């Protein structure tokens, strides 16, 4: 696994935290959320120029989150959209760059969000690290190990 140099920064809105990492990193990290209290947690998600995050619920449903924004740092006065989500035990949040879903095989067919969702749904009991490995291995097999762009992925799993 690649080493990651990343920093988390708080923005003017304390609900939005930004993770800044080297663009060439292929795998960022797998994180797990420890939920306290009544078995759920509300999180705020914001996006800076990447594909919308995908939330795969513990029971298998999946949805792209509405959180869009320009590339971080390009427009200093940009106001980033935010999406609040309620996470329950077993939910997985997939945050990724376009290089992962746009990785093409010999037939020029991209790996796509549908494959990411399918793999997450087929592996509900895997840890965040195991799911991240399965997604990265599947995408790499799909494109013959030749990603055309950076392919970064963060998997969050609510415990």
Higher pLDDT, 141 or 49: 141
Q: What is the mean pLDDT of residues 32-58?
A: 72
Gap between the Cα atoms of 112 and 117, Å rounded: 9
Asked whether residue 94 carries a pLDDT value surpassing 90, the answer given is yes
pLDDT at 80: 77
Q: What are phi and psi of 25, to 5 degrees?
A: -70, 130
Q: What is the mean pLDDT of residues 119-134?
A: 94
Asked whether residue 23 carries a pLDDT value surpassing 70, the answer given is no
**pTM of this structure:** 0.76
For 6-158, the fitting CATH number among 3.40.640.10, 3.60.40.10, 3.50.50.60, 3.20.20.140 is 3.60.40.10
Token pair of 38, please? 């009544």
Map out the domains of the chain as residue ranges: 6-158
Asked whether residue 105 carries a pLDDT value surpassing 80, the answer given is yes
């Amino acid at each position: 696994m690649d080493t990651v140099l990343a920093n988390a920064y708080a923005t003017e809105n304390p609900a939005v935290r930004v993770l800044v990492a080297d663009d060439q990193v292929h795998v960022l990290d797998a994180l797990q959320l420890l939920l306290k209290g009544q078995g759920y947690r509300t999180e705020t998600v914001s996006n800076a120029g990447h594909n919308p995050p995908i939330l795969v619920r513990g029971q298998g449903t999946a949805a792209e989150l509405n959180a869009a924004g320009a590339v971080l740092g390009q427009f200093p006065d940009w106001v980033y959209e935010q999406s609040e989500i309620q996470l329950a035990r077993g939910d997985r949040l997939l945050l990724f760059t376009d290089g992962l879903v746009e990785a093409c095989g010999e037939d020029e067919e991209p790996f796509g969000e549908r494959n990411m969702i399918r793999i997450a749904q087929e592996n509900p009991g895997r840890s965040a690290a195991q799911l991240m490995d399965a997604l990265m291995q599947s995408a790499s097999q799909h494109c013959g190990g030749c990603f055309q762009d950076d392919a970064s992925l963060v998997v969050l799993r609510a415990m």
